[in-house]
């Protein structure tokens, strides 16, 4: 009975450790999988491709794959293309005293990381316009961290105004 209890507690702690971690992509032109196997690559015109250094939130692992979150949905990244890295970037986010930001610009793009090189582009992504409101969860450098459609994104401070 003690062994079973220990194994359950160990599995839970491992799951929790991965529940708040990131995986850094270690390869170029890497495709996510819809299921944890090689035959289920996410293909097609809207399939994203990832490159060395990009980060994805990791929520677990199974059968040689990391279970990752991308735009609020779960996908699988082969372990050979990922390197686990501690806690997510949200741990470096400074808390804010306001709840929302209002966008002050037209055709503003979300960023997946707090930098200009990580714009979320393409026809399937929402662009923001003056007057749009987004819940704000913190600040990272010169970016507001916002939530949208179940994911965390970044908006440059020059395009956002705090609202309480």
Q: Can you tell me the distance from the alpha carbon of 15 to that of 162, in angstroms, rounded to the nearest whole number?
A: 36
pLDDT (tens place) for every residue of the chain, 164 residues total: 555 544 444 444 444 344 458 888 888 889 999 999 999 998 877 788 888 878 888 888 888 999 998 888 889 999 999 888 765 444 467 788 889 999 998 989 988 888 888 887 666 677 899 999 999 988 888 899 998 887 888 999 999 999 88
CA distances from residue 72 to 10, 40, 56, 97, 132 in whole angstroms, order as listed: 27, 19, 11, 25, 20
Which of 153, 160, 154, 109 lies closest to 133 in space, CA to CA? 160
All domains of the chain in start order, with CATH: 17-88 (2.30.30.40), 93-163 (2.30.30.40)
Torsion over CA: 91, 95, 101, 103 (sign): negative
Q: Can you tell me the distance from the alpha carbon of 88 to that of 52, in angstroms, rounded to the nearest whole number?
A: 17
Which of 100, 89, 95 lies closest to 146 in space, CA to CA? 100
Rounded to 5 degrees, φ, ψ at 35 are -135, 160
């Amino acid at each position: 009975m003690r062994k079973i209890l220990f194994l359950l507690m160990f599995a839970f702690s491992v799951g929790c450790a991965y529940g708040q971690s990131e995986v850094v992509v270690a390869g170029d032109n890497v495709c996510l999988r819809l299921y944890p196997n090689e035959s289920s690559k996410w293909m097609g015109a809207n399939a994203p491709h990832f490159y060395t250094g990009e980060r994805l939130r990791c929520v677990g692992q199974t059968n040689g794959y990391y279970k990752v979150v991308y735009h609020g949905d779960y996908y699988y990244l082969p372990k050979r293309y990922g390197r686990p890295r501690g806690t997510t970037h949200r741990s470096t986010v400074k808390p804010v005293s306001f709840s929302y930001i209002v966008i002050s610009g037209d055709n503003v793009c979300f960023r997946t990381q707090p930098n200009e090189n990580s714009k979320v582009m393409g026809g399937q992504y929402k662009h923001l316009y003056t007057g749009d409101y987004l819940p704000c969860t913190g600040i990272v450098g010169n970016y507001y961290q916002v939530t949208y459609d179940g994911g965390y994104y970044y908006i440059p401070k020059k395009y956002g105004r705090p609202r309480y």
